[in-house]
Chain A
Amino acid sequence: MKSITKLINFSEGIALESGRRLDSFDLMVETYGELNESKTNAILLCHAFSGDHHAAGKNEDQSIGWWDQIVGPSKAIDTDEYYVVCCNNIGGCSGSSGPTSINPNTKKAYGSDFPIVSVSDWVNTQKMLMNKLNIPHWHFVAGGSLGGMQALQWSIAYPDRIKKAGIFAAAAKSSTQNIAMNEVARESIRKDKNFHNGNYIEQNVIPKNGIKTARMLGHITYLSEKHMDLRFGRKFQDDASKIDKEVDFEVENYLQYKGEKFSESFDANSYIIMTKAMDGYDAAGKKDSLDEALKEIKAELLIVGFYSDWLYPPERGKEIQIAAINNNIKSSYMVLDGEHGHDSFLFHSEQYSKIIKKFIQS
């Protein structure tokens, strides 16, 4: 699989939904496969909350992309046939402009001064990237969770530039419960003594404990009760591999491990910015009507939910489907079992992959 990773600068900057401006910004971009001569085979992948530009294959660090089970040669999103593009969103911490980047005006890291960004802002930057790559339209824009929100927003914001959208384990807006969960996570970060109101970089520390706790909570919400039960049950962790001496059960050790690992790589301000973007998104827009908001859509939609997902349960996808039907949009809605709760959208299953593949080809 031909894969290219590069940092692209947009010196023209962007006016953000919040009213603030980034005078210049970077996007870390990864592409797979090749754009065909007629430029009709481009696919955009939108990452979820903690994802990045590395969607498929192994990178230099030997790490496997977040959607490698779905994206690659002969897979559901076939990189032999399609030119697949994925970028790290602004506000993130994997190379694109974000709180850890240097603010060109102050020559210091943005830290807490990095502006609040929104799903619309991400879609706008992805559109700028599309222009830079000379792509006239996306054949397909897809993502799960927060990525699914971007796919939906794409079809709303740029109806002439997208043929099909894949909206997986997503919703037209975050639920009250989603916001509540995210607030607990943010609170644990803000109350870490090393947070320093978000300016911890200057102090040469990171609010590691806060990020770790936030991620542990997050992980619980991504999995289903049944899956956790099957995977860990009430098994005790053996002493030799305990991460913390306080740990009794395997599930505790798992969460400790995942939280620890995440806290070493993910930026605390990014955590806050990304979750705020998720909470703030509402496809219904200012008119507060999803039916109104979907009026201009020309893309065909594929909405997939998973029964085991209680964070963005299938009913949330159904709401998009009904609004799509009300607007005479060609749209399909599928629900799969999914063993992995909310995370199910990341994993291959025969039916899931087939449906994606056939939808792209149809």
Chain B
Amino acid sequence: MARELSKIINNWVPKESKVIDFGCGDGSLLQKLIQTKNVLGYGVEINNSKIEECIAKGVPVIKQDIDKGINEFESSNFDLSIMARSIQCLKSPNLALERMLNLSKRCVVTLPNLGYWRCRLNLASGKMPVTPELPSSWYETKNIHLCTIKDFEQLCIDQNIKIKDKVFLNSNGDSGILASINPNLFAIEGVYLLEK
């Protein structure tokens, strides 16, 4: 995970909070949060080798397909749920958002921006975007629900979800000026802190 991204998320995570990270990968974000914020963290991951890496790091992890539902964690009183770069891979991103906000007061969501100028250029040339951030061809991508920054913020409005904070990252992974002036065109990634 890009350093800037984990720094932002780090800022939003309260000390000693209870955190669940959906699509936690090798557990490095949680490991960092455990070390720096002393959180009680759980990862959710579907890939066995990634799970193995979490266990090696001492990061508690749960094998699960997020698409099959996350309702069972609703009784666990999480302070924060995180879904970094995964929501666009889900069958129902809107339902996932609802559920994350049912099981924790706040959630952090990061997503790639299909409105990024490079993507638009690709489309203008008549082809599906293939960029460094979205490197897979249309037939093999896991990103089945890509959207633009505008689309996502509209969804938040439609679902009565409050955007408490947001940061836009440029292609260097920094929160650059252009990306913050016109994120829909210049940001490659949106990072959101959401609340119901």
Are A330 and B52 neighbours in the complex by a CB distance under 8 Å? no
Q: Tell whether A331 pairs with B60 under 8 Å between CB atoms, given A322-B72, A322-B73, A325-B73.
A: yes
Asked if B62 lies at the interface with its beta carbon under 8 angstroms from chain A, I say yes
Interface segment, A62-70, A206-214, A351-359?
Answer: A351-359
Sample 11 A-B pairs with CB under 8 A, ordered by A number. Answer: A325-B73, A325-B76, A326-B77, A328-B40, A332-B54, A333-B61, A333-B62, A334-B55, A351-B48, A358-B52, A358-B56
Give the B interface residue count (CB, 8 A): 21
A11 within 8 A of B: no
Neighbouring B residues of A331 by C-beta, 8 Å: 60
Q: What bracket does the count of chain A residues touching chain B fall in?
A: 20 to 34
The 3 closest A-B pairs by CB, nearest first: A362-B58, A358-B56, A325-B76
Task: Determine the chain A residues whose CB is within 8 A of the CB of B72 once the complex forms.
Answer: 318, 322
From A300, A328, A334, A358, B63 is in contact (CB under 8 Å) with A334
Residue on B with the closest CB to A362? B58
CA of A362 to CA of B51 in the docked complex: distance in angstroms?
13
Contact B76 A326 (CB under 8 A): yes
Closest A residue by C-beta to B46: A335
Residue B75 lies at the interface, judged by CB distance under 8 Å to chain A: yes
- Residues of chain B within 8 A of A362, CB atoms compared: 55-58
**A336-B75 contact, Cβ under 8 Å, with A321-B62, A362-B55, A362-B56:** no
Residues of A contacting B61 with CB < 8 Å?
Answer: 332-334
B165 to chain A, nearest CB (A): 27
Q: Tell me if B42 counts as interface (CB < 8 A to partner A).
A: yes
Q: Are A359 and B55 also in contact (CB < 8 A) when A335-B63, A351-B48 are?
A: yes
Q: Are B62 and A326 in contact (CB under 8 A)?
A: no
Chain A residue nearest to B44 (CB atoms) is: A333
CA distance A328 to B5 in the complex (A): 27
Task: Output the nearest chain B residue to A359 by Cβ-Cβ distance.
Answer: B55
Of chain B, the residue at the smallest CB distance from A325 is B76
Interface flags for A63-96 (1: CB within 8 Å of B; 0: not) read: 0000000000000000000000000000000000
Residues of A within 8 A of B76 (CB): 322, 325-326
Are A332 and B52 interface neighbours, CB within 8 A?
A: no
Which B residue sits closest to A301, measured CB to CB?
B60
Scan residues 54-110 of chain B and give those whose CB is less than 8 A from a CB of chain A: 54-58, 60-64, 72-73, 75-77
Given contacts A326-B76, A328-B18, contact A302 B55 (CB under 8 A): yes
CB distance from B89 to the nearest CB of A (A): 20
Q: Which of A311-362 contact B (CB under 8 A)?
A: 318, 321-322, 325-326, 328, 330-336, 351, 354-355, 358-359, 361-362
Nearest B residue (CB) for A302: B55
Please, which residues of chain A bring their CB within 8 A of the CB of B55?
Answer: 302, 332, 334, 355, 358-359, 362
